[in-house]
Amino acid sequence: MAARQRRITSIDVAREAGVSQTTVSYVLNNVPHQKISEATRRRIFAAVDKLNYAPSAAARTLRRGRSDLVLVVLADVPLGTALAQIVEHLTDELERHGLTAITRRERRLPVTALAGELEPVAIVSFTPISAEDQASLRAAGIRVVSARLDGSGENILTVPQNEIGRLQAGHLAATGRRRIGYAAPDDPRVREFYDLRLGGVRQACAELGLEPPDVREVPLDAATAAEVAVTWHAAGVDGVCAYNDEIAFALLAGMRTAGLTAPGDLAVIGVDDIPLAPFAVPPLTTVNQHTQTLAGHLTEMILRADGAGSPQSPRTETASLVIRESA
């Protein structure tokens, strides 16, 4: 059996760089107020690269008295484009501050059990946590930050789904559409998102003196989408708010199958501004949810809880329109 390769330690790095282990620790942990020359820093980083040194997470935890892990808990729903982007940006933002994001879905294990497994310094939850569980986590020294679709409160960042629907309907009305349809998803797992977005469309229609939206499911199937588009067109619907960009793509494909055009016969507006949105036929008008900004605010909330961030509360960002040719 081959001998197990010895783990490279900070002592090896110090020996290679010709400095003390304490100096290596100061440099790699970016300890402030230490008078260490740039030449010494370069030698240490060169030694790290040469030896392929990776600091031990367990050692960091013991040294700091806490973990550098942030547990990101997602609801058991499809990981759509916007949520995936928020998690990606959040992971990058946390990494810049020496924190590591671990993403888990809340399925069989509740948040408290997940926290017990990983002992994170903080939890970012995209699923509701009971007041009792929050109190238990905070008593264990774990900061809890929540991202919610609506509502407000301490350490909560709102991702305003209702506002998305209002923006969609408002834009269609502003461009002369008087009868609005709503292209709903056929996946019951996204019901919470759907209800809030549709609620925003209904509110906007009521405020603008329009009839309530004509709501129909549009699956990701061009033939079925074509049938729905023809039905809407025959009923006098002239603008459609789609639940998301994927459903908007399906509707546009169905309209082409049925010989209908956008925005001439039906104006179509989506949600998420996915990378392919500019390449729809025609290019898709949609709503951008500012995922990078939201991730930045979540990171700020975690850092502030750890004594390293701004004392100001993060702003609640609303969505914004991205106007192209489909509506």
- Provide the 10 A C-beta neighbour count for residue 214: 16
The residue ranges of every structural domain in the chain are 10-55, 65-159+292-318, 162-288
pLDDT of residue 117: 73
Strand partners, 285: 269
Which residue's structure tokens are 């990101």? Answer: 72
pLDDT of residue 62: 42
According to CATH, the superfamily of the domain at 162-288 is Response regulator (3.40.50.2300)
Write out pLDDT tens, residues 189-235: 888 889 999 999 999 999 999 999 999 999 999 999 999 999 999 99
Q: What are phi and psi of 117, to 5 degrees?
A: -70, -45
| H/E stretch holding 137 | helix 131-139
Q: In CATH terms, are 65-159+292-318 and 162-288 the same topology?
A: yes
**What does 165-178 look like in DSSP terms, one character per residue?**
HHHHHHHHHHTT--
Q: What is the rounded CA–CA span in Å between residue 205 and residue 112? A: 42
pLDDT of residue 185: 93
- Residues sharing a CB contact under 8 Å with residue 304, sequence separation 6 or more, in sequence order: 310, 311
The residue with greater pLDDT, 64 or 45, is 45
Whether the Cβ atoms of residue 244 and residue 80 lie closer than 8 Å to each other: yes
Q: How far is CA 64 from CA 12, 93, 120, in A?
A: 21, 20, 13
Write out pLDDT tens, residues 123-175: 888 877 778 888 888 888 888 887 776 655 556 676 778 889 999 999 999 99
The third-level CATH classification (topology) of the domain covering 10-55 is 434 Repressor (Amino-terminal Domain) (1.10.260)
Average pLDDT, the chain: 84
What is the pTM for the complete model shown? 0.72
Flag whether pLDDT at 313 surpasses 50.
no
The residue with greater pLDDT, 72 or 29, is 72
Flag whether pLDDT at 314 surpasses 60.
no
CATH says 65-159+292-318 is which class?
Answer: alpha beta
